[in-house]
Amino acid sequence: MPVVTVEGEKSFEVAAGTKLVLAIEDAGIDIMHKCGGNARCTTCRVQILHGHPHEMTDIERERLAREAALGPDIRLSCQIRVESDLTVAVLQRSSLTGIPAGTRPMD
């Protein structure tokens, strides 16, 4: 199984095909997902530190294109299916913003 490492937190195995945002949350790590995984809010954004997630879907590419300040290593964790080992940094946390994480994205 692929291993996901969240910088500053821990590493854990993930069933191939699991949405990255759910893998992170189910590992007990605080990550936001305000729009419920619909590529609208970008609060689930992560920085890819190591590894190569699959290519962006059209919906992810179009949404991130509206965020000019974000670098090419920033991805939407609700749009990534874990297929290989990844190391990421979680950038938006409910505990830091004081805003509820949002509706849980569908599997």
CA distances 97 to 43, 62, 80, 82, 94, Å, are: 11, 25, 23, 26, 5
Query: Is 18 an interacting residue with respect to ligand FES (CB under 6 A)?
Result: no
Query: Is 40 an interacting residue with respect to ligand FES (CB under 6 A)?
Result: yes
Query: Is 48 an interacting residue with respect to ligand FES (CB under 6 A)?
Result: no
Write down the least CB distance from residue 38 to ligand FES, Å.
6
**Interface residue with ligand FES, options 20, 22, 31, 41 (CB under 6 A):** 41
Alpha-carbon distance of 64 to 41, in angstroms, equals 10
The stretches of 44-93 forming alpha helices (DSSP H) are 58-64
Residue pair 93/28 in contact by the 8 Å Cβ criterion = no
Task: Give the nearest residue (CB) to ligand FES.
Answer: 78
Contact residues toward ligand FES (CB under 6 A) are 33-35, 37-44, 76, 78
